[in-house]
Amino acid sequence: MARTPALLLLASLSLAALAQQAKPAPDPTTPAARHFTDARYGISLQLPAGWDLSRRDGELSTFHLDARSAPASSQLREVAAISFNPYPMSTFSGALVYFSVAPHQSDADCARQAFLPLHKPATTAQINGISFSRGHDEHGGMCTESRDDVYTAWRRNACYRFDLVLNTFCAKVSGAQEMTLPELEEIHAREIKILQSIELKP
């Protein structure tokens, strides 16, 4: 059956909307890019423009709600949160990069933080010459609402931990478009870029 002009126009508009959705919104220039340094634990990293920074839990987010496998002894040292929505028509609700430290941990204890309750088997990753244990966790109510890529490294008799968190909400009750895999990967690439800027003092 031939499509009517109205149906063809609707299909064209739908394709245009999808194409626009795949391209992220322009990044803001504020807050400005900055360098984060934690002198106590000898670590520094670079935050791009458009990310907020806090050293206090509960100010931008709640650490233990996002980092479910972190032990109670973990101390939040910083959290960076994206301050804008690159995909405003989607179910995206936030991206965060946490740095925390659990003191008095063994190497094995540190590596275990990347295991249960994480959904995928832990692996290892080399970033700037640092060996990390890596795991992935997902959870939610009606749908997958939180994704957490965990990177842990044992150093100075403590466990250095980075949580790369991506949060969404359920489209079923909102009418927003579910984030596509390329969109999820693009947000994750932003978080990875922050992790790749890490520098550790000997």
Global pTM reads 0.84
- The pLDDT tens digits for 153-190 are 999 899 999 999 999 998 876 678 999 999 999 999 99
- The pLDDT tens digits for 99-148 are 999 999 999 999 989 886 666 777 899 998 899 999 998 887 778 889 99
pLDDT value, residue 117 = 66
Cβ atoms of residues 150 and 134 within 8 Å: yes
**Comparing C-alpha atoms, which of 200, 192, 115, 178 is closest to residue 152?**
115
- The pLDDT tens digits for 31-74 are 999 999 999 999 999 999 999 999 999 999 999 999 988 999 99
- Domain spans of the chain? 28-200
Domain 28-200 has CATH 3.30.360.10: no
- The pLDDT tens digits for 9-35 are 333 434 444 444 556 667 888 999 999
Q: Looking at this protein, which amino acid is placed at residue 38? A: D
